[in-house]
Amino acid sequence: MVKEIKTSNKSYFKCEECKFIYKDKKIAQECESYCKDYHSCNTELTKHSVRI
Ligand SMILES: [Zn+2]
């Protein structure tokens, strides 16, 4: 499950498989399903990850 992370003024979504964090829930969900299927990361998705 994608985990929602709330900060003081924003929400982020974390892929529980690879621990990357995204602003966009849809991308986090795509990342997680990719991670589960392939057990590796899709760089097309992880390039959208953010540091918080
Ligand atoms: Zn992932």
Is 28 within 8 Å of 11 (Cβ atoms)? no
**Is residue 9 domain-resident?**
yes
**Is residue 30 domain-resident?**
yes
Interval between CA 9 and ligand 1 midpoint (Å) = 24
Interval between CA 25 and ligand 1 midpoint (Å) = 12
Q: What is the largest CA-CA distance in the chain?
A: 34
Domain extent for 12: 3-46
Interval between CA 27 and ligand 1 midpoint (Å) = 9
Length of the chain in terms of residues written: 52
What pLDDT, in 10s, does the model give residues 4-49? 999 999 999 999 999 999 999 999 999 999 999 999 999 999 999 9
Apex 30 CA angle, 42 and 12, nearest 5: 100
**Is residue 52 domain-resident?**
no
Interval between CA 42 and ligand 1 midpoint (Å) = 8
**Model confidence, pTM:** 0.91
**Is residue 26 domain-resident?**
yes
- How many structural domains compose the chain? 1
**Is residue 51 domain-resident?**
no
